[in-house]
Amino acid sequence: MTPFVSDISSTGVHSPTPSGITQLESYRSLFFPTVLVGDHKLGGISSTISSYESLLLRGYIVDSVVLFHDEFYRNWEYLTPYFAERNVPVTSFDPPPLQTANDDENFILTEKYYTAIVPKSESGPIFDVLHHLDDCHASRMRDLESMPRRTLDSIWWPFVQHGLVENENDVTVIDSAYSDFFSVYDPLHGTSHQQSCLGRQFDGSASWWTQAIGHSHPSLSLAAARAAGRYGHVIFPQATHLPALRLAERLLRDGPGKGWASRAYFSDDGSTGMEIALKMALRAFSVRKGNTLDSVTKKTLGVLGLKGSYHGDTIGAMDACEDGVFTCEWHSAKGYWFDPPTVSIRKGRVVITVPPAIAAETLPAMSTINAESLSWVYDIPCRLNTPLADVYRGYIQRTLESLQKHCGHKLAALVVEPLVMGAGGMIFVDPLFQRAMIDVVRGPRSPKHTPPDWSGLPVIFDEVFVGLYRLGLQSSAPLLGVNPDISVYAKILTGGLVPLAVTLASDAIYKSFLSKDKKDALLHGHSYSAHPVGCEVANATLDIVEKLASSGLWMDAQRKWTHCNTKHTVWSFWDPDFVNALSRMEGVAEVMTLGTVLAFKVKDETGGRCTCLYRFFIFISEFSYLKDMDQCQLRPSSHP
């Protein structure tokens, strides 16, 4: 690993390269070990420390600091103990001789200087630095080589069956991450002196769908440092701070809560945000029903949702889903879940697949419906008065009436992942069915139930996966044509840098908790509620995402999917010609795409279907602009 030598005395770590970006950004993807050349002149202490901190903020490993030995300013005297506290040695060298007017004399003086600095005995300060760099390299290699075994001996992974992890080669050792890629340890790559033991690996799931703008984005790192330096963490109940307040206001006024939400409730992740949403909805329902609900019934309140949904792994969030692989012994499925109609592209045709329970009852000859176009599927105003909409509404209404007579749980909320159910298998739900569900559970609104008040059942949108432009939309509400009463956001919210979630609620939901009695409050929270670092990073992320959403790259992708006579156009970053070609491949059963998401299924050897790959390009990274797509196993014929 050849060290990256950063010299601040003449140019500085932030000096621009010919491409216009700074040296720090230019070399970051290579992730070299770094030697920082400090400044020995007036002001050099400050510039050296500032450069060191700039390197750390961008993830560099600074192994050594070197500078000239100046007896007048004596910067090395201060910097040596300063960096010693950070386990970085400082080495000072005598400066080179001053240049004279005689070239021959300059040659002799320079030769003498380098002979003194690099003696034949291979001893002295320069060799101390070299030996230290060798030691740092050896230590890093020992860590990389030992991490698989140490990990298997100490870590319990999430979502992993350890009984299937056979040996150390099954452990992915991530040395660093940048843009859309990991730098992973692979000893097979280092079999010769010309090869590095680190390989480049594409982060195909964007690290569980969190990396909205790529790994190690400097703006987010600086935002985190800014808030950490100003606040650390501060208690939040009955207090406030600017990062949280600004984030709440922008989400409510200009973000996904615009026009319906009045309050933002902060938590730490999507699952917790959904637990809060469920508490809000169940309380609002209980207050609305008043004395008609006894204490026993309140304990058994359930939710209405869709099969294949997933809202997190905490117990309450699991209870809002049907039994499945993510549930546990303590899980108690409380509610009812419809088998939803789905949308996909098969052999170039957009189709709506109606599940047997609906098709057998109402559409025996129409279990698969050919749609006019992808845009038509998502043109809800156009489809609301179609026969299929009547079928959906009738089926939902009859099912709910039957449940009311026979179900042990009283339904108190509708919970949906709008448009796409992520963890359940990238299930693209027919949006008309979700709109029909909302219309049916809300029923006809009386004058006293005018928006933002709710009627029938409170509606929760779990937009942890789909929200904040994942599908090219800030929120799915405008496309569905209805607003929720409660919605939840996480993942993209902080660009994947730190955990943070927010639950938005209408004023009517908020007022369900208002009284003069403390026990009526929403008594839910954790020590890091509205963590200033998370809120500041979220604001920085939204700044970048909103800029991207109005960029030429987004506009170009949208134009490729625009149909001249279609008023409501949905689109994808994936080129429509590529999506069409993929859907026509012999081994591909179906494809579907919206915004940054592409999902497809392949046929297995028996002719059945299995999910092959979900590819998530989370926005267009400012670092890569998808230019590295051709390095993926799947090679589109045309880049989005």
Verify that 351 and 450 share a domain, yes or no.
yes
Q: Is it the case that residue 636 has pLDDT exceeding 50?
A: no
Report if residue 590 sits inside a domain.
yes
In a domain, 496, yes or no: no
513/576 same-domain check: no
pLDDT tier, 190 (very low <50, low <70, confident <90, very high otherwise): low
Which two structure tokens, joined as six digits, stand for 539? Answer: 């604001």
In contact, 42 and 35? CB cutoff 8 Å: no
How many CB atoms are closer than 10 A to CB 9? 16
* 515 and 584 within one domain: no
Q: Is there a single domain that holds both residue 567 and residue 613?
A: yes
Helix axis angle, 552-561 to 532-549, nearest 10°: 60
Q: Do 486 and 577 have their domain in common?
A: no
Q: What is the largest CA-CA distance in the chain?
A: 105
Q: Six-digit token pair at 382?
A: 């156009």
Q: Is residue 540 part of a domain?
A: no
Least confident piece of the model among 209-218, 254-263, 530-539? 209-218
CB-count burial class (<10 Å; 0-12, 13-18, 19+) for 251: buried
- Give exposure, 292-313, as e/b (b: 16+ Cβ within 10 Å): ebeeeeeeebbbbbbbbbbbbb
Confirm whether 620 is domain-assigned.
yes
Evaluate whether 501 touches 488 at the Cβ level (below 8 Å).
yes
Range of the domain at 334: 274-414+429-464+481-490+507-524
pLDDT digits (tens, 9 = 90+) for 301-328: 999 999 989 888 888 888 888 877 766 7
Domains contained in the chain, number: 3
Strands 261-267, 459-462: pairing is unpaired
List the single range of 163-167, 190-194, 576-580 with lowest mean pLDDT: 190-194
Model confidence pLDDT, tens digit, residues 387-424: 999 999 999 999 999 888 876 668 999 999 999 998 88
DSSP character at residue 85: T
Q: What is the CATH number of the domain that holds 128?
A: 3.40.50.300
At which of 87, 103, 134 does a domain end? 134
CA distance 79 to 89: 9
**Which residue is it, tokens 């959403």?**
549
Structure tokens at 541: 């992320």
**Position 144 in a domain:** no
Are 556 and 624 found together in one domain?
A: yes
Residues 492, 213: Cα–Cα separation, whole Å? 9
Q: How many helices (H) and strands (E) does the chain have?
A: 21, 22
Tens digit of pLDDT for each residue in 273-288?
Answer: 999 999 999 999 999 9
Residue 339 tokens, joined: 């088998």
d(CA 114, CA 118): 6
Q: 249: how many CB neighbours lie within 10 A of its CB?
A: 13
Give residue-wise pLDDT tens across range 137-181: 999 999 999 999 999 999 999 889 999 998 999 999 999 999 899
